[in-house]
Structure 1
């Protein structure tokens, strides 16, 4: 399967293009970013460049390049003597990230409800059914969920908005449902409501449902990061 940015919400693409294989720097950067955002890499933890290079079967160069990109995003600090140190994210930053994604995705949902074509709606419904089957059978549904939201974001027919979603989406952990499987039933209910709003052409409802899709998720992740920080301080 081609490589996608799996996650609870899509980053959206303007055209239906076949994704290109990612470079070593991109793969390392995405993995480290996800580990930082999900709390697997804690603040003040040092990233071992040699260990990461060995994990990905690459040289130190793409690992260091990936860390420099993460430094520009404010997730790590690169120092000549101390190496690469994780800055991490605070619960407040997580809430801020989700708020931005909620606002952008809400607009995308509203525009999609107003502009979605019958063919796009059929595809959204197909993906929705496939997600439900995957959840019930215990199969991995991350890719299907990504495609579901990607199709909705494409239906908003705004390449500019899709680009903005892509920038904001990088700050949302791809492993969200791995961290919080209990959130899946709630998400499926929200998917049901969202598909209904799209079918009715109800832009206001689609926007409200999409924004609510983020509220509980933000609180879960914020509490998770706060718990990890408290445990680290206690130790």
Structure 2
């Protein structure tokens, strides 16, 4: 990683605006509400035109209206909701085409990051990737949440590409990818773990071509799940 261009610790493929080692308490306010509502919008659970009820959301999250409204304002900055004095807060969302385009961008960028990581990953970085890979498999086997571990796994690979510019591009694209993907699509976990196996193997053998192909397929598979969900919602 360039000394002249230090990167924050929060660059990863899905959650990109909070380091994974922050405390749980920090995630119980506005940031957590932003995460959940963003996922619902991006995954189509809250389709365009849905009016958000601040009181109902405050009850759901066990908080006052203030952090919910602040979360909605944050989402409005991403263009996902419209906040108006008379009409209230209405979901704008993204078209299914735009969301799938984001996955295509993430596939391309993550593939490049994995290729560069295979070229320049250090032994220490590789040990950390393997350690996280083992932790994910153990957690998945007992039914524990793997979202955070998955984020850390991909973050380490992205760091190992040693390109601050590419990491910034990943962070920007990742803002519009569902953060809690495995909660939305738990059926994706077995396939995802197989892809992790192949990715770790490619990094270990310094196979740049295989690393890129596997990383791209990782996001292409995720995009296919969303595509089917969108098709089901539209009745096509």
TM-score interval for Structure 1 and Structure 2 normalised by the shorter chain: 0.7 to 0.9
Query: 3-state DSSP class of the match of 1:77?
Result: strand
1:69-97 CA-to-partner distances (Å, cap 9, x unmatched) read 22232211222211111122332122101
Q: For residues 104 and 195 of structure 2, what CA distance do their matches in structure 1 show?
A: 17
Of the three residues 183, 190, 201, the one matched with 2:195 is: 190
| 1:160 alignment partner in structure 2 | 165
Q: 1:17 to 1:82 in 2, by over 3 A?
A: closer
Q: For 1:24-173, list aligned pairs within 5 A.
A: 24-173=29-178
Give the length in aligned residue pairs: 224
| 2:22 alignment partner in structure 1 | 19
Q: TM-score, normalised by structure 1?
A: 0.84
Q: Is residue 94–residue 222 contact of structure 1 (8 Å, CA) maintained in 2?
A: no
Where in structure 2 are there 5+ consecutive unaligned residues? 1-8
Query: 3-state DSSP class of the match of 2:73?
Result: helix
Q: Is residue 82–residue 90 contact of structure 2 (8 Å, CA) maintained in 1?
A: yes
Q: Is residue 10–residue 147 contact of structure 1 (8 Å, CA) maintained in 2?
A: no
1:202-233 CA-to-partner distances (Å, cap 9, x unmatched) read 222211110111112102112213322449xx
Q: TM-score, normalised by structure 2?
A: 0.83
Q: 1:36 to 1:134 in 2, by over 3 A?
A: same
1:202 and 2:213 aligned: no
